[in-house]
Chains A and B, each alone.
Chain A
Amino acid sequence: MLKGIYTPLSGAIAQERALEVVSNNLANINTNGFKGERVTFTLLEPEPNKHYKTPLPPANYKVPFEKLTNARANEMSYVGVDSVERDLQQGPVIKTDNPTDLMIEGKGYLSVMTPEGVRYTRDGSLTLNAEGVLTNKFGSPVVGEKGNIFLRGSSFQVNGRGEVYQGDQMVDRLMLYDFKDNKALEKVGGNMYFYGGPEEGRNVVENPQVRQGQLEGSNVNAIKNITALIMTHRSYEAYQKAVSNFDSMMEKSSNSIGEIRA
């Protein structure tokens, strides 16, 4: 068997993963606060199999075989997905004039208290529940300095610093968090992130920039993603060509070399 056939196979599998990421980006091209992602690839070098013997040099050969070439027969390189990198660029501004729509300009995440614990989000399309608590679209309360933010109806103002006013009275201030390592944020769906990193990696944003009546759109770039889609498609095709070439080589060795002719 030609083991080389597994190398393009690993490439094709990696491209399939890339396609999954591109399709998730494009599926969320109109999702508020969504951050697009990109796959990075890496070289996977499996450790040589110790049980696989290095072929012995011919009997009268003086130079050790290992010195001639450092490539052992079982040493094969593969490609794999290294990581899925998140593009943290600000999404486009969507003006809605809806008082419960908030946009965070620059850094920071809103914190919401879900039944599973605190989650972070950039999606500011909020709403009020029947008790007048400011919540996200799943009914999880948005965390302010004093806990839940209680409002009497949807006529309220949020100023640039994230302070929530009703009339002249300041109700509460939105708590925006920023993370030293944004990669430690795990996407959990529902436009929310989970932070499982160390406490010192999480800071309260000192000078938040909040805009009321606006939303942050998805930062997915259609052109970039369609280009990525084409590249993924064509590399997948190339890998498959390589697989079928290996296949015809193996066919040759099994059928043509050993052919018995009368």
Chain B
Amino acid sequence: MMRALLTAATGMEAQQLTVDTIANNLANVNTTGFKRSRANFHDLLYQTVKAPGQSTTVGTVVPSGIQIGAGSEVSSVEKMFKEGSVIQTGKETDLMIQGEGFFRVQRDDGRVAYTRDGSFKWDSGGRLVTADGFPVVPEIAIPPGVAHNKFNIGLDGSVTVRVGEEVQEIGQIQLANFINPAGLDSLGRNLYGATVASGDPAVGAANQDGVGSIAQRQLESSNVNVIEEMVNMITGQRAYELNSKVIQTGDQMLQQTNNIR
């Protein structure tokens, strides 16, 4: 059967994944700390009918050979860690990382996950937790009897509270940084998990060793750019269409062959 049909099918499949990726990006256009993904493609193996540089029967050398490609495939769907824009919220527990780095939170299974979403809250035990109730690591707990709005977080992540006239440090928010953030595993709920590809996290105070600083009363918006996504969607859809035309043509050619007799 005609190979062109299968080749075009790989193209359609790849473009479908582009549209899938864009759909997820657009669905998260207002998700705090969300990082957009991008699908990357590569060409598939080639069938070498005649290799370039091979000598022919007449003693000459083939100047340019015949290589027939088999289509395209997705090589990766990569997170783009460009910083999102700042949203001023005025809420004490809203934190934003300006620069590189991730907040560390403990999931319910005990493992540490990483997030850029700094919309934290206090839980009933006075601990600083994510919207899903995962506590920040190391634990930041406000001492009993201290008003919840009387606390302050410095650029380096040091948490202080005012007890009467006295300023008291109750903890330090630590940030993790990765050599290759694109290699992190997206766990959903704005969380990421470390993988072999991302490397081990380098944990430390904020605002040093290339790690970003912490800004209080601000949130990082999604880094999805709607126009960019729309343009990508158009190119994805049209490429899909072009590949479907190839299938149509291949089909018609086969039909003609069947109608020779």
- Which residues, 45 to 91 on B, are CB-close (under 8 Å) to A? 45-46, 48-53, 62-72, 75-76, 78, 80-82
The distance in angstroms between the C-alpha atoms of A128 and B177, with both chains bound, is 14
Q: Does B40 contact A (CB under 8 A)?
A: yes
Q: Does B41 contact A (CB under 8 A)?
A: yes
Against A, the Cβ 8 Å flags (1 = close, 0 = not) of B240-261 are 0011011001101100110011
- How far is the CB of A237 from the nearest CB of chain B, in Å? 6
- How far is the CB of B48 from the nearest CB of chain A, in Å? 7
Against B, the Cβ 8 Å flags (1 = close, 0 = not) of A85-103 are 1100000000011101000
Q: Does A49 contact B (CB under 8 A)?
A: no
Q: Which of B124-132, B147-155, B161-169, B196-204 has 4 or more CB atoms under 8 Å from chain A?
A: B196-204
Query: Can you name the residue of chain B whose Cβ is closest to the Cβ of A26?
Result: B242
Q: Does B33 contact A (CB under 8 A)?
A: no
> Do B8 and A23 touch across chains, with their CB atoms under 8 A apart?
yes
Q: Contacting B239 at CB < 8 Å: which of A20, A29, A197?
A: A29
> Do B11 and A23 touch across chains, with their CB atoms under 8 A apart?
yes
Across-interface contacts of B2 in A (CB, < 8 A): 16, 19-20
Q: Does A109 contact B (CB under 8 A)?
A: no
Q: Does A83 contact B (CB under 8 A)?
A: yes
The distance in angstroms between the C-alpha atoms of A160 and B101, with both chains bound, is 28
Against A, the Cβ 8 Å flags (1 = close, 0 = not) of B204-246 are 0000001000000000000000000000000110110011011
> Do A130 and B198 touch across chains, with their CB atoms under 8 A apart?
yes
- Which residues, 207 to 253 on A, are CB-close (under 8 Å) to B? 222, 225-226, 229-230, 232-233, 236-237, 240, 243-244, 247
Q: Does A51 contact B (CB under 8 A)?
A: no
- How far is the CB of B166 from the nearest CB of chain A, in Å? 39
> Do A98 and B80 touch across chains, with their CB atoms under 8 A apart?
yes
Across-interface contacts of B70 in A (CB, < 8 A): 24, 189
Across-interface contacts of A27 in B (CB, < 8 A): 7-8, 10-11, 14, 69, 71-72, 243, 246
The distance in angstroms between the C-alpha atoms of A262 and B243, with both chains bound, is 59
The distance in angstroms between the C-alpha atoms of A153 and B50, with both chains bound, is 44
The distance in angstroms between the C-alpha atoms of A132 and B42, with both chains bound, is 23
> Do A31 and B246 touch across chains, with their CB atoms under 8 A apart?
no
Query: Can you name the residue of chain A whose Cβ is closest to the Cβ of B81?
Result: A154
Query: Can you name the residue of chain B whose Cβ is closest to the Cβ of A137?
Result: B75
The distance in angstroms between the C-alpha atoms of A16 and B46, with both chains bound, is 16
Against B, the Cβ 8 Å flags (1 = close, 0 = not) of A171-186 are 0000000000001111
The distance in angstroms between the C-alpha atoms of A226 and B196, with both chains bound, is 43
Q: Which of B112-120, B134-142, B178-186 has 4 or more CB atoms under 8 Å from chain A?
A: B178-186
Query: Can you name the residue of chain A whose Cβ is closest to the Cβ of B44?
Result: A189
The distance in angstroms between the C-alpha atoms of A218 and B43, with both chains bound, is 11
- How far is the CB of B204 from the nearest CB of chain A, in Å? 13
A-B contact pairs, 14 of them (CB 8 A): A21-B68, A24-B71, A27-B10, A27-B243, A27-B246, A28-B72, A30-B18, A130-B199, A153-B178, A154-B81, A185-B52, A190-B43, A244-B260, A247-B261
